[in-house]
Amino acid sequence: MTSTADNNATPATGATTVNTGLAQMLKGGVIMDVVTAEQATIAEEAGAVAVMALERVPADIRATGGVSRMSDPDLITGIIDAVSIPVMAKARIGHFVEAQILEHLKVDYIDESEVLSPADYVHHIDKSKFKVPFVCGATNLGEALRRITEGASMIRSKGEAGTGDVSEAMKHIRTINSEIAQLRSMAEDELYVAAKELQAPYDLVRQVAKDGRLPVVMFVAGGVATPADAAMMMQMGADGVFVGSGIFKAGNPAARAAAIVKATTYYDDPAVIAEVSKGLGEAMVGLNVSDLPAPHRLAERGW
């Protein structure tokens, strides 16, 4: 009847199961980029499983340029106070002090994100030093496993944020799926070289080869703008979807957000996806990734 732990003791926190577990609770759901508390409330009301606080949505980062950083702590606290769902917030790649601030503010997840301007072009944050969990972007399996080695509890494929063009998201999830399938088909003694080529630790490579999936939850991000985009990512095997500029840069954010949530749950039912896609008004204008000069491609940040 009673707990075996001392009732006066602080529970042991920060263990991996707790942090990878929160990502498992978000599966099948939609995480929405928000800049203000008002947008966070719209997202929760639409059925988001979490919100992601950032200074500017990626489409605005592209439009206005300049260095993009962690949000003002006041805005993050305002968002935490406004909603009952988990709050994530972005820190720059390698910016461990922004991460320390976000942990202090008690966000539920930190996104070490290529959408912001990198603070370190060589090293990522040593995420194992933190109690708060991290999600990190990846374009391929090796990159995902390197982030997990550094302590990430969740992975999102990068796509190309702020474009409304889903082709890069598709490319990255296809790449990761196909690299996992290759590992599965390898003989055990081939995995040593595979680990070398992936630039990832052998033990993790072996685990992926055995399980046929990443050891943590993987969402898809970057360019998802319509219910059909979200459903396609789920049919590709994503555990869930991040939507950034796609919602608050569209004509009717509340309706589009709710429609993307429904399409993510009923991802294999074209009747539902067709129904929720009706009358949503204008989608975000969008940019074709093929028209973007290479220096403006965010997915190439991170190593």
Indicate which residues carry an active-site annotation: 90
Least Å distance between CB 148 and another protein? 18
Q: CB-wise, 44 or 143, nearer to another protein? A: 44
Q: CB-wise, 87 or 191, nearer to another protein? A: 87
User: Binding to another protein by residue 5, rule CB under 8 A?
Assistant: yes
Comparing CA positions, the residue from 221, 217, 200, 198 lying closest to residue 24 is: 217
Out of 13, 64, 185, 290, name the contact with another protein by CB under 8 A: 13
The kind and range of the H/E element at 147 are: helix 141-149
How many CA within 13 A on the CB side of residue 15? Answer: 5
DSSP designation for 71: P
Range in contact with another protein (rule: CB under 8 A) among 40-48, 155-163, 200-208, 241-249: 40-48
User: Binding to another protein by residue 48, rule CB under 8 A?
Assistant: yes
CA 225 to chain centre: 15
Q: Helices 202-211 & 167-185, crossing angle to 10 degrees?
A: 90
Q: x/- binding map, residues 240-279, to another protein, per CB under 8 A? A: ------------------x--xx-xxx-------------
User: Binding to another protein by residue 224, rule CB under 8 A?
Assistant: no
If one counts every other C-beta atom within 10 angstroms of the C-beta of residue 285, the result is 12
Out of 15, 181, 186, 274, name the contact with another protein by CB under 8 A: 15
Q: Helices 37-46 & 253-265, crossing angle to 10 degrees?
A: 40
Comparing CA positions, the residue from 62, 13, 59, 54 lying closest to residue 35 is: 54
Least Å distance between CB 278 and another protein? 14
Range in contact with another protein (rule: CB under 8 A) among 17-25, 56-64, 134-142, 166-174: 17-25
Out of 32, 53, 84, 187, name the contact with another protein by CB under 8 A: 84
Out of 131, 184, 196, 210, name the contact with another protein by CB under 8 A: 131
Q: x/- binding map, residues 86-125, to another protein, per CB under 8 A? A: x----------------x--xxxx----------------
Return d(Cα 166, Cα 116) in angstroms, integer: 20
Q: CB-wise, 8 or 290, nearer to another protein? A: 8
Region label for 106, one of left (φ > 0), alpha (ψ between -120 and 50) or beta (otherwise): left
Return d(Cα 298, Cα 233) in angstroms, integer: 20
Q: Does residue 110 contact residue 91 with C-beta atoms inside 8 Å? A: yes
The residue count for binding another protein (CB under 8 A) is 47
Comparing CA positions, the residue from 272, 299, 282 lying closest to residue 247 is: 282
For the record, the structure tokens of 4 come out as 């075996």
Q: CB-wise, 8 or 64, nearer to another protein? A: 8
Return d(Cα 218, Cα 223) in angstroms, integer: 16
Residue with tokens 């033990």: 203
Range in contact with another protein (rule: CB under 8 A) among 2-10, 65-73, 93-101, 155-163: 2-10
User: Binding to another protein by residue 47, rule CB under 8 A?
Assistant: yes
Return d(Cα 114, Cα 303) in angstroms, integer: 10
User: Binding to another protein by residue 204, rule CB under 8 A?
Assistant: no
Binding footprint of another protein on the chain (CB under 8 A): 1-5, 7, 11-15, 17-19, 21-22, 24-29, 44, 46-50, 80, 83-86, 103, 106-109, 131-133, 258, 261-262, 264-266
